[in-house]
Amino acid sequence: MTFTLEQTHIEGIEEILQDYLPEAGIHCVIMIDMAGNIIAEHESGETKHDIPALAALSAANFGAVNAMAKIVGEEEFSLLFNKGEKENIHYSRVTDEFLLICVFDNEVSLGLLRLKVAKAIGKMTEILAP
């Protein structure tokens, strides 16, 4: 069964990205499909990222890490986190088809971010439910 993403889905997801996640201090949030296609995005305006490149590389990275998970006997790693000197990237699977990418600085509490992302994903899965 193939899932068809409709305009109402995209509008609901964009609302969550714009209204819900920036309050956690996220500079940039992107929802992509597993091929790296951008579904929705929101940037705070504080930084400018190459969103298409970030989306494509994130999809590839998530795929590679999940292949490694299978090698070590895990079904998947549903959450990834990259820590940098100034910025960090948090990746979470929304559904089998979609991935949420959050870019944030070191001022953001990882615990708060994970809580907000989990709630946002819960709202997104409701929107995406058949």
CATH number (domain holding residue 72)? 3.30.450.30
What are 110-119's contacts with CB under 8 Å, separation 24+? 110/81, 112/24, 112/25, 113/24, 113/25, 113/26, 114/90, 116/20, 116/21, 116/23, 116/24, 116/26, 117/21, 117/24, 117/90, 117/92, 118/92, 119/20
Model confidence over 78-111: pLDDT tens digits? 778 899 998 999 999 999 899 999 999 888 888 8
Q: Which two tokens stand for residue 55?
A: 């989306």
Give the count of beta carbons closer than 10 Å to the beta carbon of residue 108. 18
* 124 bridge partner residues: none
Maximum C-alpha span of the chain: 43
Q: Which residue range is the domain that position 123 belongs to?
A: 29-128
Assign 13 to helix, strand or coil. helix
Model confidence over 37-85: pLDDT tens digits? 999 998 877 777 899 999 999 999 999 998 999 999 998 887 788 999 9
Check pLDDT > 70 for residue 30. yes
**Residue 18 confidence class, pLDDT cut points 50, 70, 90:** confident
**Residue 82 domain-assigned (yes or no):** yes
**Residue 24 domain-assigned (yes or no):** no
- In this prediction, residue 89 carries a pLDDT of 94
**What is the model's pTM?**
0.89
- In this prediction, residue 2 carries a pLDDT of 59
**Residue 67 domain-assigned (yes or no):** yes
